[in-house]
Amino acid sequence: MRMLAAMSGGVDSAVAAARAVEAGHDVVGVHLALSRAGGTLRAGSRGCCTIEDAMDARRAADRLGIPFYVWDFSERFRDDVIEDFVAEYRAGRTPNPCMRCNEKIKFAALLERAVELGFDAVCTGHYASLVDGPEGRELHRASDAAKDQSYVLGVLTAEQLAHTYFPLGATPSKALVRAEAEARGLSVAHKPDSHDICFIPDGDTRGWLAERVGSTPGEIVDRTGAVVGAHEGAHAYTVGQRRGLHLGVPAADGKPRFVLEVRPVSNTVVVGPKEALATAEIAGSRHSWAGRAPAAASFDCAVQIRAHADPVPAAARVEDGTVTVRPEAPLDGVAPGQTAVLYAGTRVLGQFTIDRTVSAVPA
């Protein structure tokens, strides 16, 4: 197959490209330039899209003897990922920019261009598995549970899965990938993993948002509506947060309070007891299926609401374009804007962006 290898400059994508070459595919490497701040260099292990990463990707491609290109996707990344991130926070939601990047950039914009240029598939270093089932290609968890990335790939559609290749899905551990990279003479063998939000390399999300959203003082209230404190900008708070509230009125029981809700229209932050973070139901209308949609309107599944959270058995139903999920045990600290990924065993069924939550503890 003609294969486009997305090379981030890290060890995973380099080894994935090497395996694609070794499997006999006609491979071309491409690095996505997602920022116009071209002089930016990585600080520690933060970020994943710097000029240093582009150079590391080029060295890996040279070592593998494959053609290599850098494609400028910075405008689309700004519009589809960064601006979406800011808009979601303005609306009082907690977005996952990695999900949007996979959905809009790596498996939409990149795959679209790859197909236009005659490539059969895009190869990446994600830890997930693809299985060709009786009803088409299925997305499954990786064999290494600690590195499994199927959650952030839950946005992929059947059409995208048909043109995707994950060579690392069956690899038992990241240590083996690093050892393989070293054996292949790849200079990125011991490069630190990237983490945090790539377009906020210093990790100061609150400060970054304050520059773009602004800081408007408002009230912090309890579940009865009583004012218990003040804030300098609601965007700085997210559901489940405890630190940094600086409440002027202590709780009657003397226990700590947590952020339960952010209301952007009234610029209000709602706080309450930890027990109120328990969520009995979640729902959302922005959804997609990783393959064929479930045959029945109601079905059993497992739901996962964070990349490294444990899946929870649940009952789901699809009605009037909205997916509603009731977990067997309450979920903890769910915020609108998060992504819920649904599983059947190891298989990813699909995902939705959470628009509505119902607390398991009445006000």
Strand order in the sheet with 121-123: 68-72, 26-33, 2-6, 121-123, 164-165
Fold of 2-183: Rossmann fold (3.40.50)
The span from the CA of 235 to the CA of 225, in Å, is 19
Catalytic residue IDs: 101, 198
Nearest alpha carbon to residue 1 among 118, 105, 108: 118
The per-residue pLDDT for 3 is 97
Q: Range with the lowest mean pLDDT among 4-8, 102-106, 269-273, 346-350?
A: 102-106
Model confidence at 2, pLDDT cuts 50, 70, 90, reads very high
Domain limits, CATH 2.30.30.280, in the chain: 215-272
260: Cα separation from own chain's centroid = 22
Quick: pLDDT tens for 27-68. 999 999 887 654 444 444 444 567 888 999 999 999 999 999
Q: pLDDT tens digits, residue range 294-310? A: 999 999 999 999 998 99
Stretch 64-81: mean pLDDT, rounded?
A: 94
Name the band, by pLDDT with cuts 50, 70 and 90, for residue 244.
confident
Q: Please state whether beta strands 68-72 and 121-123 pair in parallel, antiparallel, or not at all (unpaired).
A: unpaired
Name which of 17-31, 130-144, 159-173, 188-202 the model is least confident about: 188-202
Neighbours of 274 (CB within 10 A): 16
Model pTM? 0.90
How far is 201 from 98, CA to CA, in rounded Å?
Answer: 14
C-alpha span between 85 and 66 (Å, rounded): 35
Q: What value does the mean pLDDT take over residues 114-142?
A: 94
Tell me what the pLDDT averaged over the chain comes to.
91
Whole-number pLDDT of residue 39:
45
Q: 135 CB contacts (<8 Å, ≥6 apart)?
A: 291, 292
Residues of the chain with CATH 2.40.30.10: 277-359
Percent above pLDDT 90 for the chain? 70
CATH of domain 277-359: 2.40.30.10
Q: CATH 3.40.50.620 residue ranges in the chain?
A: 2-183
Q: Which CATH superfamily is domain 215-272 in?
A: Adenine nucleotide alpha hydrolases-like domains (2.30.30.280)
The predicted model gives 269-295 an average pLDDT of 94
CA distances from 329 to 44, 279, 284, 348 (A): 39, 9, 19, 20
Tokens of 269: 């932050």
